[in-house]
Chain A
Amino acid sequence: MLERRAVVERLLRDRGGLCVIPGLGSCTWDVAACGDHPLNFHMWGAMGGTAMIGLGLALARPDRRVLVLTGDGDMLMGLGSLATIGVKRPANFAIVVLDNRHYGETGMQASHTAAGVDLVKIAEGCRFRISYAVGDMGEIDHVRDLLHTGEGPIFVQAQIAPNDPPRVLPTHDGHAIKQRFMQALN
């Protein structure tokens, strides 16, 4: 089973102009743990909306690569957005779900994926061009390359251990996060 921090660190290596939208909670802490970056639009709320923010951005900036990095709970709350993404099929768009099969922020209750609900098949059914699961660190470099050069939409379920590394908190000032992101991008 994968360690979440190691996966995120590897995925964001030499990230260049990659735009990253981390979902609320652990994924935001994971991305913050890799160091501050103006092209992180990290979330502190709006659960279920992360993938759609990525879609709006990917459609607005086809010249940039967009990564939505989120958890199974956030993805489950926004399942319909996978269908919406499947209609537009932006080539510059990827979702990596760090799936620990639990709701980390609320006390590690089991999520639907713990019962076997299969996000990879759902994304496949929603016309993602690539959709697969990874459970081995040796596969992460390839995922990282896909984020930069693969034809999207791409969906990757990273099967991670259900643990809770120390929190690394970025600012929660939404205006500041937005402003900085937009200045860096546009």
Chain B
Amino acid sequence: MAENQNSWPDLIHGHFKRVGIRQVGYVPDAGHSRLIDLCKQDNGITDVVLTTEEEGIGLVAGATLGGQRAALLMQSSGVGNCVNMFALLRNCGFPCLLLVTMRGEYAEFNPWQVPMGSITEQCLKLCGFQVYRVNQADEVDDVVGAASDMAFEGNLAVAVILSQRLIGRKQWVR
């Protein structure tokens, strides 16, 4: 249990609590599974399961209008689904904290993940996000902490890329 409390999803959840995240939108994802569970178990956080990631951008905008802070969890493929909706963040200056688990890079077994995975980071930058990458577990606390502060102190769109190396190779059974 002690080990879990120091795992990287727990550290991210800790920052959610520290900066007062009240809504978390997500599409079910293996890499984010523990963080999603932590949010669902947290009575102070409203978890919102989405059918597609761009719904989450609207959710963030609405939560902000209502005076709450929100974060979004998605896989790299989901970034592609959001591109037009990202304009809402920029047009109105909504803060947005995005945590992106990567597919299509380190040890990817599925070539269909590669085209979107390989442009995710550039895509976020083109859409106006400040982007930080985490490759190792011992960087998570510092980087997610910095990204959270930047998003909500500065009303900025900030994305943290959680690399496939951090998440671990997907166990795939033929």
Complex: A64 Cα to B62 Cα, angstroms: 13
The smallest beta-carbon distance between A86 and chain B, in angstroms, is 10
Quick check: A56 and B58 within 8 Å, CB to CB?
Answer: yes
Complex: A171 Cα to B62 Cα, angstroms: 19
Complex: A96 Cα to B65 Cα, angstroms: 20
| Interface-located stretch among A110-118, A138-146, A159-167, A177-185 | A177-185
Q: Interface size class for chain B?
A: 20 to 34
Quick check: A56 and B70 within 8 Å, CB to CB?
Answer: yes
Quick check: A81 and B67 within 8 Å, CB to CB?
Answer: no
- A25 interface hit (Cβ, 8 Å): no
Quick check: A54 and B62 within 8 Å, CB to CB?
Answer: yes
A17-53 interface bits toward B, Cβ cutoff 8 Å, 1 = contact, 0 = none: 0010100000000000000000001001111111111
Quick check: A48 and B67 within 8 Å, CB to CB?
Answer: no
A-B pairs with beta carbons under 8 A, tally = 121
Quick check: A55 and B88 within 8 Å, CB to CB?
Answer: no
Quick check: A45 and B87 within 8 Å, CB to CB?
Answer: yes
| Interface-located stretch among B35-43, B46-54, B113-121, B127-135 | B46-54
Task: Kindly list chain A residues whose C-beta atoms are within 8 Å of the C-beta of B84.
Answer: 46-47
- B73 interface hit (Cβ, 8 Å): no
Quick check: A50 and B94 within 8 Å, CB to CB?
Answer: no
The smallest beta-carbon distance between A104 and chain B, in angstroms, is 19
Quick check: B58 and A80 within 8 Å, CB to CB?
Answer: no
Quick check: B63 and A56 within 8 Å, CB to CB?
Answer: yes
Task: Kindly list chain A residues whose C-beta atoms are within 8 Å of the C-beta of B94.
Answer: 178
6 contacts between A and B (CB under 8 A): A19-B65, A46-B88, A49-B85, A53-B58, A60-B65, A88-B46
Interface residues of A (CB under 8 A from B): 19, 21, 41, 44-61, 64, 78, 80-81, 83-84, 87-88, 174-175, 177-178, 181-182, 185-186
The 5 A-B residue pairs whose C-beta atoms are closest, nearest first, are A56-B62, A60-B66, A52-B58, A80-B51, A174-B92
Interface residues of B (CB under 8 A from A): 22-23, 46, 48-52, 54-68, 70, 84-85, 87-88, 91-94
